[in-house]
Amino acid sequence: MGDVSSGMSSSIMQLYLKQVLEAFFHTQSSVRHFALNVIALTLNQGLIHPVQCVPYLIAMGTDPEPAMRNKADQQLVEIDKKYAGFI
């Protein structure tokens, strides 16, 4: 995260993080799917701290679609691997 592009990406993600997380509760599954993908990519790149996403990922674990439940659970497992004892 030492270069300019990652700093800019982090700033942009911080700016829109709340709206992306709120999209987890949208009625259309495609919107929820894309929001989950954005959060997964952002977490994998380390652009945001996971504490902001954990409650939303836990809520996404109850999604009616199995693929989204599994992806949310996978993200929680990844967070637990990176930050042992965090969850």
> Does residue 87 fall inside a structural domain?
no
> Does residue 70 fall inside a structural domain?
yes
pLDDT > 80? residue 83: yes
> Does residue 9 fall inside a structural domain?
yes
The whole-angstrom separation of Cα 45 and Cα 51 is 15
Q: Residue 35 corresponds to which amino acid?
A: A
Span 11-51, pLDDT tens digits: 888 889 999 999 999 999 999 999 999 999 999 988 888 99
Span 58-78, pLDDT tens digits: 999 999 999 999 999 999 999
Number of structural domains, the chain?
A: 1
The whole-angstrom separation of Cα 50 and Cα 44 is 10
> Does residue 18 fall inside a structural domain?
yes
